[in-house]
């Protein structure tokens, strides 16, 4: 299987499966001299891990303890590859025995089986959302690197279960289980998610991300534009089905005079319809994008499908699954964004003499 690495100068490779012994990552190109805060690393892992007391989140219990195997000495990165291991502790593989020969709708079961002729039916193997814990570990190192430049990455639930957040208060994000910047909207979201859970169904949402302090000049025209690389990073997350920057799809109904971000001395942009990126290069504005997160495919309702022999059948999925992925996918989106910006910063060092 190819395609398990992302980035060029700051290159991350992940490994492991949902029901294997563990998962992990190797960061190749992590600069020496980064002060490593292991408490911060673990706090990032805790934001993503399952078992939160929320109707949105799976009941699977994992400590997700990140064990640094190499690349750090006396609290600093050494410039050698950083290896991190996260061991699995709470697999219930027997929950998947009834789907051994049946494809789950909305999952990668069918496409993996067609591509490789074999599939790990226990939780989906590499297709499982559990794969993202390794990304979050790598993203924590990227965030520690970006902190030296005053760059921050903040994602939050803009919409879930059809309910839109009208306010944007960053201090509210970690005060509610939906990680929503609007307290009233968060309460409505949780109530709606609970209703989906009671009905044995799931729901999707929209996660918005703001990157502050990236400055100007990041991005490599033509194929490695900043927005193209961020899109690659975010769309590589299994549940993400769409992405837009700034005004996004609304710009299709706009006009040039309205959509252009006019400039004044400073320079200052009067608007940010471009989402902080022009011609693939950051312009100094906040980088803003939104990602569409699909409903969790593992639901507890009977569905029509086929088996490995191509015969029609039905399926009822068992086990422990999220109802809405938005709260747990937020640290993953932040991680992939941080990895991308770290990579672009290191690449940008070679852009001029």
For position 294, which CATH number holds? 3.60.150.10
Residues contacting residue 225 through CB under 8 Å, at least 6 positions apart:
219, 277, 279, 280, 281
Owning domain of residue 22: 5-348
| Residue 100 pLDDT | 86
- In whole angstroms, what is the distance from residue 178 CA to residue 55 CA? 10
296 is known to lie in a ligand binding site: yes
279 is known to lie in a ligand binding site: yes
| Residue 180 pLDDT | 98
Report how far apart, in Å, the C-alpha atoms of 7 and of each of 138, 173, 341 are. Answer: 12, 29, 10
294 is known to lie in a ligand binding site: yes
Tokens of 292: 């569409």
The answer to whether the Cα torsion of 131, 133, 135, 137 is positive or negative is negative
240 is known to lie in a ligand binding site: no
- In whole angstroms, what is the distance from residue 347 CA to residue 324 CA? 36
| Residue 121 pLDDT | 83
Q: Note the helical H segments in the chain.
A: 38-48, 109-116, 132-147, 183-198, 226-235, 256-259, 326-348
Q: Residue 102: inside a domain, yes or no?
A: yes
- In whole angstroms, what is the distance from residue 161 CA to residue 324 CA? 8
Q: Residue 35: inside a domain, yes or no?
A: yes
- Reading the chain (353 residues) residue by residue, the pLDDT tens digits are 889 999 999 999 999 988 888 999 999 999 999 999 999 999 999 999 876 555 566 555 678 999 999 999 999 999 999 999 999 986 555 656 778 899 999 999 999 999 999 888 877 778 888 999 999 999 999 999 999 999 999 999 999 999 999 999 999 999 999 999 999 999 999 999 999 999 999 999 999 999 999 999 999 999 999 999 999 999 999 999 999 999 999 999 999 999 999 999 999 999 999 999 999 999 999 999 999 999 999 999 999 999 999 999 999 888 778 999 999 999 999 999 999 999 999 999 999 88
202 is known to lie in a ligand binding site: no
Strands (E) across the chain are located at 5-6, 11-16, 22-28, 66-70, 72-73, 76-77, 82-87, 152-160, 163-164, 205-212, 240-245, 263-264, 268-269, 277-278, 281-282, 287-293, 303-306, 312-315
320 is known to lie in a ligand binding site: yes
Tokens of 17: 């499966």
| Residue 55 pLDDT | 58
| Residue 92 pLDDT | 52
134 is known to lie in a ligand binding site: no
18 is known to lie in a ligand binding site: no
Domains identified in the chain, total number: 1
143's torsion region: left (phi>0), alpha (psi -120 to 50) or beta?
A: alpha
| Residue 49 pLDDT | 87
Q: Residue 353: inside a domain, yes or no?
A: no
212 is known to lie in a ligand binding site: no
Residue 268's beta-bridge partner residues? 264
Tokens of 344: 């672009």
305 is known to lie in a ligand binding site: no
Q: Residue 146: inside a domain, yes or no?
A: yes
Q: Residue 254: inside a domain, yes or no?
A: yes
Residue of 103, 123, 105, 122 whose CA lies nearest to 113: 103
Residue of 286, 9, 343, 330 whose CA lies nearest to 152: 286
| Residue 60 pLDDT | 52
| Residue 19 pLDDT | 83
328 is known to lie in a ligand binding site: no
């Amino acid at each position: 299987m190819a395609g398990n690495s992302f980035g060029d100068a700051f290159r991350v490779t992940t490994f492991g499966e949902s029901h294997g012994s563990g998962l992990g990552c190797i960061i190749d190109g992590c600069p020496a001299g980064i002060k490593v805060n292991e408490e911060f690393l673990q706090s990032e892992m805790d934001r993503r891990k399952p078992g939160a007391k929320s109707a949105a989140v799976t009941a699977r219990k994992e400590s997700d303890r990140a064990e640094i195997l190499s690349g750090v000495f006396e609290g600093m990165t050494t410039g050698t590859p950083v290896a991190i291991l996260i061991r699995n502790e709470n697999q219930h593989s027997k929950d998947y025995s009834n789907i051994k020969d049946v494809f789950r709708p909305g999952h990668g079961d069918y496409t993996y089986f067609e591509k490789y002729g074999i599939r790990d039916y226990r939780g989906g193997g590499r297709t499982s959302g559990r794969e993202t814990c390794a990304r979050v570990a790598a993203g924590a190192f990227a965030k520690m690197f970006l902190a030296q430049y005053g760059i921050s990455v903040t994602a939050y639930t803009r919409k879930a279960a059809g309910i839109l957040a009208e306010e944007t208060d960053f201090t509210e994000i970690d005060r509610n289980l939906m990680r929503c910047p609007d307290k009233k909207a968060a309460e409505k979201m949780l109530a709606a998610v609970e209703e989906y859970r009671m009905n044995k169904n799931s729901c999707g949402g929209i996660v918005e991300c703001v990157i502050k302090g990236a400055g100007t000049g990041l991005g490599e025209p033509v194929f490695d534009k900043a927005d193209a690389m961020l899109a690659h990073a975010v769309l590589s997350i299994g549940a993400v089905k769409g992405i837009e920057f700034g005004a996004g799809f609304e710009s299709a109904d706009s006009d040039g005079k309205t959509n252009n971000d006019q400039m004044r001395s400073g320079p200052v942009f009067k608007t940010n319809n471009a989402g902080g990126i022009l011609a693939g290069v950051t312009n100094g504005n906040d980088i803003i994008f939104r990602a569409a997160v699909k409903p969790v495919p593992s639901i507890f309702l009977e569905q029509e499908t086929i088996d490995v022999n191509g015969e029609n059948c039905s399926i009822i999925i068992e086990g422990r699954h999220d109802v809405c992925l938005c709260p747990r996918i937020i640290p993953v989106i932040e991680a992939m964004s941080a990895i991308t910006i770290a990579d672009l910063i290191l690449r940008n060092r070679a852009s001029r003499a």
